[in-house]
């Protein structure tokens, strides 16, 4: 959605490694924002983004207008059912309908062989993979690692909203994920115990308002109660620091 940072640029670099041509789309998608969310204030800087893409030697920039994507009397939306229901789907009920719809439209416009998405939006990545599988789309989805600041904060266009003190408080997301990793490495397998200790870190940060901290099966996004040896999981967080909503996650193999 633009206002590019190193996380976005890492996707571009991966594309250039694998592909003959790289197309970047920038489109702040109105249908994935709820009524009280930050669509109008979402950071935009087309000139800055264009310069960054030129520096990365991107072949094409696809910069459609809202009327091109959603012409008058637009009526067709994509609903991915189960994987979209919990977590972000609970707190942002129309979000994934907007995401799946716009991604399918962009795929139809560009006809890519590969598409690259960041792991930071882990549930979004799962939704897109499910849509591609179910609708038999001829595109391979590549998930790319989270890119972090030197202190561990996951890069996000919304980080610009944070004040200096909020920026410091936001590190609690990364710190709590590391706590979970340490607990699991030490043998903890009861999810409720892990989540309780993570929550204690957030309770010590007054501006932090947690939407959810969950551990899910990495393949199905099912919530789990106990961790099983040899299985892969995701620890996921959504939290508001002041008025800024941030998400983060880590993948773990027990």
CB 176 within 8 A of CB 182: no
Cβ atoms of residues 180 and 201 within 8 Å: no
pLDDT tier for residue 126 given thresholds of 50, 70 and 90: very high
Q: Is the pLDDT score of 36 beyond 90?
A: no
The pLDDT assigned to 181 comes to: 96
The two three-digit tokens of residue 152, written as one number: 């561990």
Q: What is the pLDDT of residues 188-210, one digit of tens each?
A: 999 999 999 999 999 999 999 99
Range 157-163 average pLDDT: 96
CA 85, 194, 249, 153 dihedral sign is positive
Whole-Å CA distances, 112 to 56, 124, 157, 217, 251: 19, 18, 25, 29, 27
pTM: 0.95
Q: What is the DSSP letter of 70?
A: S
**What would the mean pLDDT of 206-217 be, rounded to a whole number?**
96
For the cut 90, the answer to whether the pLDDT of residue 93 exceeds it is yes
How far is residue 227's CA from residue 19's CA, in Å, rounded to a whole number? Answer: 38
Closest CA to 89 of 214, 202, 193: 214
Helix residue ranges per DSSP H, the chain: 6-18, 46-55, 66-69, 88-91, 95-110, 122-134, 164-169, 171-185, 191-203
Burial of 40 (0-12, 13-18, 19+ CB in 10 A): exposed
Q: What does the block give as tokens for 254?
A: 């027990």
All domains of the chain in start order, with CATH: 6-144 (3.40.50.620), 157-253 (3.30.1300.10)
pLDDT more than 90, % of the chain? 98
- Read off the pLDDT of residues 47-71 as tens digits, 9 standing for 90 and up: 999 999 999 999 999 999 999 999 9
pLDDT in tens, 9-23: 999 999 999 999 999
Task: State mean pLDDT over 117-140.
Answer: 98
What percentage of the chain exceeds 70 in pLDDT?
100
Q: pLDDT value at position 175? A: 98
Q: For strands 232-241 and 208-217, give the pairing.
A: antiparallel
Across the chain, what does the average pLDDT equal?
97
Instruction: State the pLDDT at residue 103.
Output: 98
Which positions are catalytic?
8
- pLDDT per residue over 220-242, tens digit each? 899 999 999 999 999 999 999 99
Confidence check: pLDDT of 101 > 90 = yes
């Amino acid at each position: 959605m633009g206002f590019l940072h190193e996380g976005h640029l890492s996707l571009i670099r991966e594309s250039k490694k694998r592909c003959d041509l790289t197309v970047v789309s920038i489109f702040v998608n109105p249908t994935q924002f709820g009524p009280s969310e930050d669509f109008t204030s979402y950071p935009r800087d087309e000139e800055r983004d264009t310069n960054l893409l030129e520096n990365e030697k991107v072949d094409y920039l696809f910069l459609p207008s809202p009327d091109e994507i959603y012409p008058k009397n637009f009526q067709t939306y994509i609903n991915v059912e189960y994987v979209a229901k919990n977590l972000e789907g609970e707190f942002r009920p129309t979000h994934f309908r907007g995401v799946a719809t716009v991604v399918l439209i962009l795929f139809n416009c560009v006809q890519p062989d590969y598409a690259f998405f960041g792991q930071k939006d882990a549930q979004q990545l799962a939704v897109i993979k499910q849509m591609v599988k179910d609708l038999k789309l001829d595109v391979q989805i590549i998930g790319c690692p989270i890119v972090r600041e030197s202190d561990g904060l996951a890069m996000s266009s919304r980080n610009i909203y944070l004040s200096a003190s909020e920026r410091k408080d936001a590190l609690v997301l990364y710190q709590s994920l590391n706590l979970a990793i340490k607990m699991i490495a030490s043998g903890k397998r009861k999810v409720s115990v892990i989540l309780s200790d993570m929550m204690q870190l957030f309770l010590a940060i007054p501006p932090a308002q947690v939407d959810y901290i969950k551990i899910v099966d990495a393949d199905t996004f099912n919530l789990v109660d106990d961790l099983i040896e040899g299985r892969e999981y995701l620890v996921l967080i959504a939290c508001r620091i002041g008025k800024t909503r941030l998400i983060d996650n880590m993948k773990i193999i027990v």
